[in-house]
Amino acid sequence: MTEREKLAMLEDLFEMEEGSLATDMELADVDEYDSMSKLSLIVMMEDEFGVSLDGAAIREFHTVGDIVALMEK
């Protein structure tokens, strides 16, 4: 899976326009990355990548790239 495909998954998950995310973007600047999006992210990461995220792991995410780095099949 390419980096662009992973970003597209996140854009779909956060209900954003295609092409609006980049790995160096700060999550604090992404309005759509809110408490409800975090719940969707937990489910997607576990279902699609077998990665379990707890609250501490979520708090460690600072950029979009931090999430993308864990999206490995």
Partner 1 sequence: MLKNIYKGIKVTGIAAAVSNRWQSTEEAASHLDQTRDFNLEKFVKSTGVKGRYLCMERQTPADFCVAAADRLLREKGVNREEIGILLYVTQSPDYRSPATACVMQQRLGLSINCVAFDINMGCSGFVVGLNTVSALLAGSDTEKALLLCGDLTGQDLNRDAVSNDYYYLFGDAGAAILVEKNHTNVDELMILSATDGGGLKAISSPGGLWRHPTWKYGCAMDGVEVFNFGINRAPEMIKEYMRIQGTKPDDYDKLVLHQANLYMMKQVAKRSGFDKEKMSVSIEEFGNTSSVSIPISIVHDYGEQTMAEPKRFLCCGFGVGLSWAAVEIVLSPNQIYPLIHTDEYFEDGLEENY
Residues that bind partner 1 (CB under 8 A): 15, 31, 34-36, 38-40, 42-43, 53-55, 58
Query: For residue 60, how many other CB atoms are within 10 A of its CB?
Result: 9
Using the structure block, give the residue that is written with the tokens 């099949």. Answer: 73
What's the DSSP call for residue 73? -
26: β partners: 63
Q: How far is the CB of 38 from partner 1 (least distance, A)?
A: 6
Q: How far is the CB of 51 from partner 1 (least distance, A)?
A: 13
**In this complex, which beta carbon is closest to partner 1, that of residue 25 or of residue 32?**
32
**In this complex, which beta carbon is closest to partner 1, that of residue 39 or of residue 69?**
39
Q: How far is the CB of 16 from partner 1 (least distance, A)?
A: 12
Q: Do 68 and 23 contact (CB within 8 A), yes or no?
A: yes
